[in-house]
Structure 1
Amino acid sequence: MTKIDKVLFSGTTHTTINRDPRLQRGDHGVLDIKLSAPGGDDLELIAALPHPTAEQLFAGAWSACYITAFGIAASLKKVTLPADYSVDIQVDVGQTGAAWFLGAQFTIRVPGVEKAVVEAIAHAAHQICPYSKAVHGNIEVALNVVTA
């Protein structure tokens, strides 16, 4: 796997699950989307950016899939997640020499859960998420866990 030397374009997402339809929805300039997840759960994702770039579209699709996989992985490990956990993904398009590559950085926020537990769930979620499996070994994926 080649590491990107020069980032040319980036797309970012911040994905949370809206469990309360009375909550304030996305601010002006963002788009709320409702997706269904495997198993028939309807998940409402809030605050995606309008007019996304290809990197944002990929990051958004990946984050919607990954946050679902993260919840599945947590339940398999019998870990109860706080309602406000979230996943941020930044997808970069960049170059090393004349070659072009993709890279991704994940920031997973799970307040109140031990960092090692979140890391284990995060790695398990990558084994479940079809997007993560599709890019495994093809692009560099970095992980940052925030538990505070």
Structure 2
Amino acid sequence: MQVLYTASATATGDGRDGHVRTSDATVELDLAIPKEMGGAGGAANPEQLFAAGYAACFHSALRMVARRSKADVTGSVVEAEVGIGPNGSGGFGLAVTLVVDLPAVERSAAQQLVEAAHQVCPYSNATRGNIDVALTVREAAAA
């Protein structure tokens, strides 16, 4: 693979109760363990950062495949839900649900676009076979 861009971030402090900063300082955050995992909460956590990155990346992939098929993705939204829990082997694992709103696209066509985006999205390709990723097309609101 020819690398087109490389991002770099550094974690300091106590891992999940520490601090992260990208090399260009565009992202700089304190981290805290979520209350649900026994921490204090009140700051970002790695799962939120992963969810934000996956949602943005998947949305870009979705818009790319939509352009190719000339689909109208006006008003499209991608929400990534990232869960963490014990993996049964002494460690932890992640599970992802991608919830996609495509209000201007008929449901079966929307599902096809989402499936196609899942094949080209770098996050989807990186996680495939490693974590469960569920794809959900949200029902359009009744007019």
Which TM class, normalised by the smaller chain length? 0.5 to 0.7
TM-score (norm 2): 0.64
Deviations 1:29-75 (A, max 9, x none): xxxx9xxxxxxxxxxxxxxxx94210000111111111111000111
Q: Which has the higher strand share?
A: 1
1:69 aligned partner, one-letter code: A
What is the CA RMSD across the aligned residues, in angstroms? 1.8
Q: Which has the higher contact order (CA 8 A, sep 6+)?
A: 1
Of 80, 98, 109, 1:106 maps to 98
1:42 is matched with none
SS at 2:103 equivalent: coil
Of 72, 82, 90, 1:91 maps to 82
Q: Is the contact between residue 114 and residue 147 of structure 1 (CA under 8 Å) also seen in structure 2?
A: no
Structure 1: which 4+ aligned runs deviate by more than 4 Å?
A: none
Computing the radius of gyration from Cα coordinates, the structure with the larger value is 2
Equivalent-residue separation in structure 1 for 2:138 and 2:115 (angstroms): 15
Q: Is the contact between residue 55 and residue 80 of structure 2 (CA under 8 Å) also seen in structure 1?
A: yes
Deviations 1:102-124 (A, max 9, x none): 11011101113111111111111
Of 55, 63, 70, 1:78 maps to 70
Equivalent-residue separation in structure 2 for 1:64 and 1:81 (angstroms): 15
2:55 is matched with 63
Q: How big is the shift at 1:126?
A: 1.4
% identical aligned pairs: 35
TM-score (norm 1): 0.62
1:94 aligned partner, one-letter code: G
Structure 2 residue 138 is the aligned partner of structure 1 residue 146: yes
2:115 is matched with 123
1:57 aligned partner, one-letter code: L
Q: How big is the shift at 1:77?
A: 1.4
- Listed as ranges, the gaps of 5+ residues in structure 2 are 1-25, 27-41
- Listed as ranges, the gaps of 5+ residues in structure 1 are 1-32, 34-49
